[in-house]
Structure 1
Amino acid sequence: MAPSYYSTRSTHDHFVESPSLLARVIAGLPSGLGMQMQRLWERNSYSSVATSTSRVPRGLRHWTERLHPRRLLSLPHLLILVWLLVLLWGERWVFESSIKACEWGRWERWPKDATPHHLVFLADPQLIDPHSYPGRPWPLDKFTMLHTDNYLKRSHISLQKKLHPDTVFFLGDLFDGGREWTTAHGNTEDPLWANGLRPASEQAYAKTWKKKYGDDFWLREYNRFGSIFDKFWNIAGSDAGPWQRGRKLISSLPGNHDLGFGANIKIPIRNRFETYFGEGNRVDVVGNHTFVSVDSVSLSAASSPHDTKEITKPVEEFLSTVQATKRKAVARELSFQAGEERALRLPHKVEELEWADFSKMPTLDPGEGKAELPTILLTHVPLYREKGTPCGPKREHWPPTTPPKGQTTPVFPDERNAISLTGGYQYQNVLSEEDSVRLVSTVGNVIRVFSGDDHDYCEIVHAENKNNAREITVKSMSWAMGVRKPGFLMLSMWNPIDASGQSLYSSPSGHGTVSQSQTTTTESHLCLLPDQLAIFIRYLTLLILTLLALIVRAILTPIMHLTPFATTPFAETDFSLLPTTKQDVKRREEDNEGLRSSNSSNSSTSSTHSNGQNLAPRTAASRTRSVSPAKGYGLPSSQVRFTTPPLATSLPRYGERTWVIEHDFSKDKANGYTNLGGKGTKATPLQVIWREASQSIWRVAWVTVLVYLYLVYYG
């Protein structure tokens, strides 16, 4: 006999089918006394059922069915596992694997005993803010902001853990709308001559921005930047690489989205930026190389027909003394490496002011002709180049045009592959030719140039008037800047020097020391970050496949008698002491009528029992309906304390006080969800399909969404 959802054999059935010593004793008694003992035994058995069921939680059968191994390994739960793996990959693992492929040892070509300095350039993070997509609806705008922040944070954390660079330089555009947010002091209004220059898409929001966003909002953005980058700077430790002085994070170079461009720059906004990030014009000696950062967006104001002296004054003063600043920085570095203290000492003497000679004041500048380290120029805006100068094969937007047959050099001009020489409100794609030549010649000894602003990769070698310097425009590291695969640039530097600053790096042929102009002291590598849009497309594809799979399985469940995923609800069992509705009263009357007929039948067969034969089985009505002890057993109403609970489809086996759960999936398939609605009626195929589809989709959806929200919330 195959078991059903729960054992449906009543206690009386056990008594009849497996006669015990008590049954044989009852059979030998007179008929009246035997029937009374049988009824009392049945009553006590039913009371035991009620007592034992009251100790068991109502949802025991429900959860036991849910935890059945065949259900745990069902298609919806397998899809949940797939979603969990895909989400962990898309929100965590893909960042680690992308950056792990860029490890220093995979592409460096230094000698085995080299101890290079590891540096990373990060360009244009441009934190999304109200300026970025002014017309975008609120939910979508917040979604974009959340995911761009998480993308930057995950990339930076993986970068620090896997690469642990000694130095990080930002190449400007830290914010997207930093130039728009007003300051507490100073005038940040646009000049009259700038009216009408702003794009029409921004013009409608400009007044709102000025009123709504000020210093408080900018400070929150500053704190937001720090929570992404500064907070995780030492996540892998604060120690630098072997033989390196220490670790640095320099983010003082401004971009046009931080200050504005050219004559549109407001002095209070620039003062605020430099107060928190440092001066945009600076000299740093890193890894035996001299890095010169120049505020090129302010420098560009010199070509404006308007009065811009206040804007260009800091950068002009810096360039006028940059050679001396470089020499002093190199001399300070050499003294440190030699273990000496280099400080400015003034003689203690008294002179008449009119006879004092201020032309020979003490200085830390060692003077011209001293050793100089290779110079690397950093500028947010790329240097000028001829129109159509190709950017090379690593540019994402447009690959280089295929050269004609027989041509070995790149196609020139190649407009698609080149940076466009255009400009507009608050931007200019490249510096002017005059500013570019002046910048390189004034800084001096420039061998490499690194820039940002364009958001895509571009690598060119400049003409002789720019010292044949090789310039790399670094990709944006944000996925919201128009590039499918953001990235950053890794720079490995190795330049061993003597006490005077001369390079000790031998040429590959082993002919002794060579000049710095003949030696390569830097190696660079473009590291690509994950394609966030492709990750979203994978999520969408998996979502469609998940819905199709669950719907198809729901349709096939009643057709092919598959094991259902949706749980069968409890059969409604009435344990009330008194009838509560007219239907209950009617049902009780029907039960009593059935019991009267059953008692008559039992009385007629008493002679059979007295002869020692097996007890006759009870009728179906008496086994499945509630029994009134007052009328069914002939007891006076004064002796009735509780009505006998109805025999549900699940009763304990004979002699047991706990539930016996015997789930039969084969019968579950065959009967098509009998008691699906708890009313004892057979479900239609459409009900089965709807229940299967809704419960399985809901199960996959809420688990997946919770995991996704957890991963998003914790970055």
Structure 2
Amino acid sequence: MAPSYSNGNSNGYGYSYGSSSGHRQSATTSYYSTPYDEDYSSRDHGDFQSICDDIAAGAKSLLRRMWAYAQGPGRQMVWSLAMRGGHQLRRNMIRRRILSLPHLLVVFWMVVMLWGERWTFSNKVRSCDWDHWEDWPPGATPHHLIFVADPQIIDPHSYPGRPWPLNPLTMLITDNYMRRSYNQLQQVLHPDTVFFLGDLFDGGREWKTAHGNFDDPEWAKDHRPSQEKKYLKQWHKNYGEVYWLREYSRFGDIFYQNWNLGGVFSGPWQRGRKLISSLPGNHDLGFGAEVKLPVRDRFSAYFGETNRVDVIGNHTFVSVDSVSLSAGTSAMKDRVDLHGIYEPVQQFLGEVKATKRRAVQRELRFWRGEIDQVTFDHRVEDLDNADYSRLPTMDVGEDAPDFPTILLTHVPLYRDPGTPCGPMREHWPPTKPPKGQTASVFPDHRNAISVSGGYQYQNVMSEEDSVMMIKSIGNVKHVFSGDDHDYCEVVHSDQKENVREITVKSLSMAMGVPTPGFQMVSLYNPVDSQGNPFPSATKTIQTHLCLLPNQLSTFLTYAVLGVLSLLVLAARAVLVPVLKLEPFALDPVQNPPSAVLPIFKAKTETDDQDVYHLKSTSSATPASNLPSARTSTRPRGPSLSHGLVAHARNASPKPKGKPAPGKWGWGQNRGPRIEIRRDGYYDKARNDIWKPASRQRSTLGLIGREIWTTSWRVVWMVLLFFAYLAHQG
């Protein structure tokens, strides 16, 4: 055959022509297909197909083995386990065990758990109902408002050194506490408005943002406590924008999702229900010069504008981002540029009086049935001759009527060190005055909010910022703040217009105050169509502190009742052998029913043997009534008075060969001799069931076993019920 480059049957380019017949056959280009390429392709395809065939064959073989196992030993194992479980359940589900003392204790503990985890919240909130403390004239229609301070949901920042199981458990318990409190707050009190006073998160300022510079500035890196420095890299790596969004969703699951439990409609003559949670705290943004702008932008994007004016119940509420405002008076103001932090707040305060007037006019327009927005005349004017001085506006001037103003700030206003907080402060009650003194002790440092600060916090604002806020807002009649976690009520100095301030308790049980709470506010300010108050309206606001359950006291109650329960079970265990009581602990099953091992009928011998028969049964006991059997090739001795033993006395040798008719064996050979366990007894009350006899135990062993069995039964059932309540929230 000529080579591919010759002038033989194929030319140099691989075209094949016809043979001696003179007809040209189909030509094929060797560039696209050559014998070598075809061989390589087919070989590669064959290898791949071989691999697929091997995998398919292996999978089929595995499935066949699994099916064979499921049809044989697997089915027997499952059936055996089901038989064992059913047998154990049958032993337990009898009336004397169901109505026993351990199960009665479990029922008692369920009632205790329902009280501690559900009913006590309802009782506490119901005791604070509005009609228990409101004092308005007959026919009044007050606006019901509630302040919630420092929920500060627990996260990895809260207890960085705490091991894994404890930290999630702490988060679960504290979340459930706030959820139950808030649910009862909505269901029982039906507030028209709920305000949050900051610190919604505990570590919100630490979770890295998706955009912007999140690193601490060089001058602030040494400010962080040493115990936090070693976790900083881990926080920035593991807890970023995605984690913060999960925390936002977690906050919403507790508070937003359950908002409608308070109903859809507001009280009579109110403009609807509101929930406002845009006021930030130092745990949300940081404090002063160390507030990070990307963190604040993220907070305002999800919760709303941090500086705002709301007219509610004929009162004007002014929310001020005091943690950002404090940057303007910080020690770092002259060293670094902080304008981006405090200037938006100062600009808001510079315009807040006009903002208040516009908000009041919109409210009055609504009640008069007018359009609550600015309307412009439809006319065409030349731009050069247009008069811009008479544009319509909601601000009718400084002489316009104003509603009583309530200032909301996360950080309390400045007060002199040692200013007492009053008798309702839980952490440190007031110091008793000396004998003969009627006025309260001043200064009383233990009853006061400490005038101090530290990393990312300051207990009170500077006096300069406090005075500026009061003067800029004007007509401030009341201040509500958070941050301190405990209740504090003070009347400020003349410089701050003698305004009364209440620092609201934290709603969380993890904020260092044993008894959490929230502040209830009733607003009633009747006005005419122009916003002027009636002469009889001298007091327009009433407040009440509502205390929630002391969870530490609840846990202490659980501990005391737990010890008493163990003592009761121990006393019962001691009385079992003394009074011959029925033991709670079941005897262990020597050979429980099984579908894996065969169970045979008892043998019947026709030779010369002495066979003992039970009088109430036939010579052959049904196999279904034999829970266990033991094989033996030698006599076992005399039978027990309550059992049955089948064995031969003076057994004579047996002839070899085929067994006689009626005999049975394994295969063609006689099987081993079978006897019923000599430690069994016959139960006439349980359908002829053979049961293993109780082994003789010592009194101490019986008592110990009773204590362990009954205690374990109560513990796991109670913990399971507690887990169910915790899962339900």
TM-score by length of 2: 0.77
Note if 1:299 corresponds to 2:334: no
Equivalent of 2:682 in 634, 650, 670: 650
CA deviation after TM superposition for structure 1 residue 352, in Å:
6.0
CA deviation after TM superposition for structure 1 residue 259, in Å:
0.5
SS of the residue aligned with 2:498? coil
Q: Which residue of 1 aligns with 2:363?
A: 333
Asked which structure has the greater RCO (Cα within 8 Å, sep 6+), the reply is 1
CA deviation after TM superposition for structure 1 residue 290, in Å:
0.5
Note if 1:436 corresponds to 2:466: yes
Q: Which residue of 1 aligns with 2:344?
A: 314
> 436-445 or 134-143, which moves further after superposition?
134-143
Q: Which residue of 1 aligns with 2:314?
A: 288
CA deviation after TM superposition for structure 1 residue 593, in Å:
4.9
Matches within 5 A, 1:549-588: 549-570=568-589
The one-letter amino acid of 2:695's match is T
Query: 1:580-636, CA deviations, whole angstroms, 9 ceiling, x for partnerless residues?
Result: 99xx99x999x985429999xxxxxxxxxxxxxxxxxxx97798435589x99x9x8
Q: Which residue of 1 aligns with 2:144?
A: 118
The one-letter amino acid of 2:493's match is A
SS of the residue aligned with 1:438? helix
Q: More helix by proportion, 1 or 2?
A: 1
Separation (CA, whole Å) in 2 of partners of 1:573 and 1:280? 70
In 2 relative to 1, CA 593–569 (structure 1 residues): closer, same or farther, beyond 3 Å?
A: farther
Matches within 5 A, 1:234-273: 234-273=260-299
Separation (CA, whole Å) in 2 of partners of 1:102 and 1:661? 63
The one-letter amino acid of 1:689's match is I
The one-letter amino acid of 2:687's match is W
In 2, are the aligned partners of 1:62 and 1:569 still within 8 Å (CA)?
no
SS of the residue aligned with 1:650? strand
CA deviation after TM superposition for structure 1 residue 651, in Å:
5.7
> 379-388 or 683-692, which moves further after superposition?
683-692
CA deviation after TM superposition for structure 1 residue 59, in Å:
8.5
The one-letter amino acid of 1:169's match is F
Note if 1:89 corresponds to 2:110: no
CA deviation after TM superposition for structure 1 residue 660, in Å:
6.8
Measured on the aligned residues, the alpha-carbon RMSD in Å equals 3.4
Equivalent of 1:394 in 397, 414, 424: 424
For structure 2, the residue ranges without an aligned partner over 5 or more in a row are 1-82, 616-637, 666-672
Matches within 5 A, 1:579-598: 593-595=609-611
Q: Which residue of 1 aligns with 2:631?
A: none
CA deviation after TM superposition for structure 1 residue 359, in Å:
4.8
CA deviation after TM superposition for structure 1 residue 350, in Å:
5.7
Query: 1:35-67, CA deviations, whole angstroms, 9 ceiling, x for partnerless residues?
Result: xxxxxxxxxxxxxxxxxxxxxx88999766645
Equivalent of 2:408 in 369, 375, 378: 378
Query: 1:2-60, CA deviations, whole angstroms, 9 ceiling, x for partnerless residues?
Result: xxxxxxxxxxxxxxxxxxxxxxxxxxxxxxxxxxxxxxxxxxxxxxxxxxxxxxx8899
SS of the residue aligned with 1:378? strand
The one-letter amino acid of 2:581's match is L
The one-letter amino acid of 1:270's match is R
Separation (CA, whole Å) in 1 of partners of 2:184 and 2:693? 58
> 337-346 or 253-262, which moves further after superposition?
337-346
Query: 1:391-435, CA deviations, whole angstroms, 9 ceiling, x for partnerless residues?
Result: 000001110111122322211111110000000111111111111
The one-letter amino acid of 1:687's match is G
Separation (CA, whole Å) in 2 of partners of 1:68 and 1:160? 45
In 2, are the aligned partners of 1:626 and 1:644 still within 8 Å (CA)?
no
Q: What is the number of equivalent residue pairs in this alignment?
A: 605
CA deviation after TM superposition for structure 1 residue 344, in Å:
1.8
The one-letter amino acid of 1:99's match is V
TM-score by length of 1: 0.78
Matches within 5 A, 1:153-232: 153-232=179-258
The one-letter amino acid of 2:707's match is A
Query: 1:514-550, CA deviations, whole angstroms, 9 ceiling, x for partnerless residues?
Result: 4x6xx11111000011111111222222222222322
SS of the residue aligned with 1:409? coil
Query: 1:662-703, CA deviations, whole angstroms, 9 ceiling, x for partnerless residues?
Result: 9xxxxxxxxxxxx8xx36632222331232122111211121
Separation (CA, whole Å) in 1 of partners of 2:378 and 2:593? 107
CA deviation after TM superposition for structure 1 residue 450, in Å:
0.2
Note if 1:533 corresponds to 2:552: yes
Equivalent of 1:520 in 519, 528, 539: 539
Separation (CA, whole Å) in 2 of partners of 1:595 and 1:352? 130
SS of the residue aligned with 1:649? strand
Equivalent of 2:724 in 697, 710, 713: 710
CA deviation after TM superposition for structure 1 residue 446, in Å:
0.3
In 1, are the aligned partners of 2:404 and 2:476 still within 8 Å (CA)?
yes
In 2, are the aligned partners of 1:575 and 1:646 still within 8 Å (CA)?
no
Separation (CA, whole Å) in 2 of partners of 1:168 and 1:573? 63
Separation (CA, whole Å) in 1 of partners of 2:519 and 2:543? 7
SS of the residue aligned with 1:401? coil
> 446-455 or 81-90, which moves further after superposition?
81-90
Q: Which residue of 1 aligns with 2:564?
A: 545
Separation (CA, whole Å) in 1 of partners of 2:398 and 2:647? 116
Identity %: 55
